[in-house]
């Protein structure tokens, strides 16, 4: 008799567990041997999964080590920003948008710490991390371009995209300095406050 598919919550839990297992295996093996001496096949085997399953979650072993994931911003947050909300003030609305990205990322703290340590010893990982960050900034710029149709702004998309990227980076660094207490989004208001102080100086 065929077994029924697991309910949505069980499927999501399984996906999360598999993803975390692959990250843990990748980080452990790379920490032991170095990035160039570890293969996707070895990572998959160490996680108890197939290579095919690996590529359902990550495009490369570099991405697995860093725990890079596609961040799908909440549809309501996205729609609200594009329509000119939630406040109608660009800086405040940008803060809400960045908060949505940071909360959606919701990383595993221990794996974040290991990834940051490996970044310092593997230059290629830093290149991949920077490329991922730039892609996120590109997503911000696309949303800003859409928003202009409802609420024009004299500030160009590139500038606002860079500000959004800066806020994400500043929040992440503050989170790291706090010993990864809470989440990165909790440090966003202070990053915004610091930026306002700089601009008002």
Last residue of a domain, one of 40, 66, 92: 66
Q: Could you tell me the residue range of the domain that residue 150 belongs to?
A: 75-200
Tell me, what CATH number does 179's domain have?
1.10.357.10
Residue 155's pLDDT band (boundaries 50, 70, 90)?
confident
pLDDT over threshold 50, residue 114: yes
Please report whether residue 109 resides in a domain: yes
Q: State the pLDDT at residue 69.
A: 77
Residue 1 has pLDDT above 50, yes or no: no
**pLDDT of residue 201 exceeding 50:** yes
Query: Over the stretch 16-26, which tens digit does the pLDDT of each residue have?
Result: 899 999 999 99
Is 115 within 8 Å of 62 (Cβ atoms)?
Answer: no
Note whether 51 and 132 are same-domain residues. no
2 within domain boundaries:
no
Peptide bond into 105 cis (omega under 30): no
pLDDT at 54: 97
Residue 68 has pLDDT above 60, yes or no: yes
Q: Cis link prior to 86 (omega < 30° from 0)?
A: yes
| 187 shares a domain with 102 | yes
Mean pLDDT of the chain: 88
DSSP assigned state of 3: P
Q: Are residues 100 and 186 in the same domain?
A: yes
Higher pLDDT, 12 or 18: 18
What is the CA angle 143-158-149, rounded to 5? 40
Which pLDDT band holds residue 2 (cuts at 50, 70, 90)?
A: very low
pTM: 0.76
**For the residues 156-166, what does the mean pLDDT come to?**
88
Q: What is the pLDDT of residue 107?
A: 64
């Amino acid at each position: 008799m065929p077994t029924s598919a697991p309910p949505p919550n069980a499927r999501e839990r399984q996906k999360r567990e598999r993803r975390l297992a692959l990250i843990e295996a990748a980080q452990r093996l790379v920490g032991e041997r170095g990035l160039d001496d570890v293969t996707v096949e070895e990572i998959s085997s160490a996680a108890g999964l197939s290579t095919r399953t690996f590529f359902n979650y990550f495009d490369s072993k570099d991405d697995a080590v860093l725990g890079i994931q596609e961040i799908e911003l909440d549809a309501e947050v996205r729609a609200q920003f594009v329509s000119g909300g939630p406040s109608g003030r660009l800086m405040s609305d940008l803060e809400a948008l960045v908060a949505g990205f940071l909360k959606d990322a919701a990383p595993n703290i221990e794996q974040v710490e290991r990834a940051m340590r490996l970044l310092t010893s593997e230059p290629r990982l830093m290149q991949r991390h920077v490329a991922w960050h730039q892609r996120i900034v590109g997503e911000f710029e696309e949303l800003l371009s859409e928003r202009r149709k409802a609420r024009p702004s004299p500030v160009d998309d590139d500038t606002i995209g860079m500000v959004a990227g800066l806020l994400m980076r500043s929040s992440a660094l503050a989170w790291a300095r706090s010993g990864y207490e809470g989440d990165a989004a909790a440090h966003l208001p202070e990053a915004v406050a610091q930026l306002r102080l700089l601009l008002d100086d």
